[in-house]
């Protein structure tokens, strides 16, 4: 009797123990499941924010333009290109650098650097130019696969100093298009509604949400509203081979001999207006280094970078309301009407200004030579508008 009671007691304890363990197991398992589900409703972690939250369009344009360059040949023809690796290699169109081995590369801040063509295709309108002066610079992010879809929003960029259609917005309006423009065969193209001009040739096509390069702007129809871009993922293996092992001899393009693609740099007035606008775009982005680089050497001698930067300590933002360009001999006088958001004695105030900038070339680069301005009264504001 005693023995049977002990066995019964042990069995009961085992059952209770198993039940308690089961309860804790279920609670633990359910807790984990609930936690996993709840994460979907929680704010993303910092790392996730950086990788998944789309950039603002303005930021994408501003940051990307710094890595888009203008290519200039001895015959006067120009095109665009973009930095795709940290070796200083620029992707562009083959027709931009056809029949040449070296080019001048002009960066967004007006620096002119030598570049050498290290790869060019006679079949696909793609080439690579190596620019030693850009080695070590972080390149544009590139999408490694063709995942673009119809109606995806895109940005077509050309050289920041090629003024017409510098940045155009649009969407992918067609896929897998095919064109033959001698001597090149274009296939699997993106058809885009973002206009492309000759100055955009070789520039990047960006995903508007992520800022990734998805294509190389290459051709357009007579209708300026239809452009075509080569998917960059299709040519990455080829351009990487050139970067690893540059071509010993470059193919010739006799069918393109004598053809000069017209520079798309705009008039002197357009160029001067662009530089002033670019100056304030840089200020608004907090990129005072780029803004300072747009000033002439003589102006930089009169004001140090530290003093230039401190002059904007109380400025929250600046909006360019209007630009008026007045060509005067070898320079253009640009009058800018501005709305500035400033902090004054701890309070935010909106002020209107009129600033006059003489703009002209310095060592083949357009520079802002000086500036003088005044705050506008209410009456002057009405006149300016």
What residues act catalytically?
A: 95, 125, 201
CA distances from 20 to 9, 11, 12, 26, 265 (A): 16, 14, 12, 10, 79
CA distance 368 to 360: 7
**What is the Cβ-side half-sphere exposure of residue 193, based on CA atoms within 13 angstroms?**
10
CA distance 162 to 290: 17
Q: Residue 382 is encoded by which pair of tokens?
A: 């009405």
By the 8 A CB rule, do 156 and 165 touch? Answer: yes
By the 8 A CB rule, do 159 and 167 touch? Answer: no
Which is nearest to 111 in space by CA: 125, 86, 131? 131
Signed CA dihedral, 352, 356, 360, 362: sign only: negative
CA distance 171 to 364: 36
**Helix and strand numbers, DSSP H then E, in the chain:** 10, 17
Q: Residue 83 is encoded by which pair of tokens?
A: 């930095």
């Amino acid at each position: 009797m005693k023995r049977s009671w002990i066995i019964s007691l042990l069995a009961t304890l085992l059952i209770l123990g198993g039940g308690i363990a089961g309860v804790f197991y279920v609670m633990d398992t359910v807790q984990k499941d609930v936690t996993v589900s709840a994460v979907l409703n929680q704010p993303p972690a910092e790392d996730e924010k950086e990788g998944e939250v789309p950039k603002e369009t303005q930021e994408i344009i501003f940051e990307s333009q710094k890595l888009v360059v203008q290519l200039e040949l001895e015959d006067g023809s120009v095109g665009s290109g973009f930095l795709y690796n940290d070796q200083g290699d620029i992707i562009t169109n083959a027709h931009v650098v056809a029949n040449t081995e070296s080019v001048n590369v002009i960066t967004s801040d007006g620096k002119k650097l030598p570049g050498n063509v290290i790869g060019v295709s006679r079949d696909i309108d793609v080439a690579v130019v190596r620019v030693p002066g850009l080695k070590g610079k972080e390149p544009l992010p590139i999408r490694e696969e063709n995942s673009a879809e119809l109606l995806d929003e895109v940005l077509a960029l050309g050289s920041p100093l090629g003024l017409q259609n510098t940045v155009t917005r649009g969407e992918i309006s067609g896929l897998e298009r095919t064109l033959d423009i001698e001597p090149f065969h274009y296939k699997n193209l993106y058809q885009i509604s973002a206009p492309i001009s000759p100055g955009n040739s070789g520039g990047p096509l960006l995903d508007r949400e992520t800022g990734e390069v998805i294509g190389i702007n290459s051709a357009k129809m007579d209708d300026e509203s239809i452009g075509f871009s080569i998917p960059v993922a299709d040519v990455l293996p080829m351009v990487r081979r050139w970067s690893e092992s540059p071509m010993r001899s470059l193919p010739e393009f006799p069918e393109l001999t004598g053809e000069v693609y017209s520079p798309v740099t705009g008039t002197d007035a357009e160029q001067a207006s662009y530089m002033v606008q670019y100056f304030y775009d840089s200020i608004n982005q907090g990129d005072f280094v780029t803004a300072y680089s747009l000033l002439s050497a003589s102006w930089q001698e009169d004001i140090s970078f530290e003093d230039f930067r401190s002059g904007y300590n109380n400025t929250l933002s600046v909006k360019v309301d209007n630009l008026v360009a007045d060509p005067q001999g070898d320079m253009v006088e640009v009058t800018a009407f501005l709305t500035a958001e400033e902090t004054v004695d701890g309070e935010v105030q909106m002020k209107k200004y009129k600033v006059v900038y003489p703009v002209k070339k310095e060592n083949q680069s357009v520079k802002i030579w000086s500036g003088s301005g005044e705050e506008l009264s209410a009456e002057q504001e009405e006149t300016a508008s």
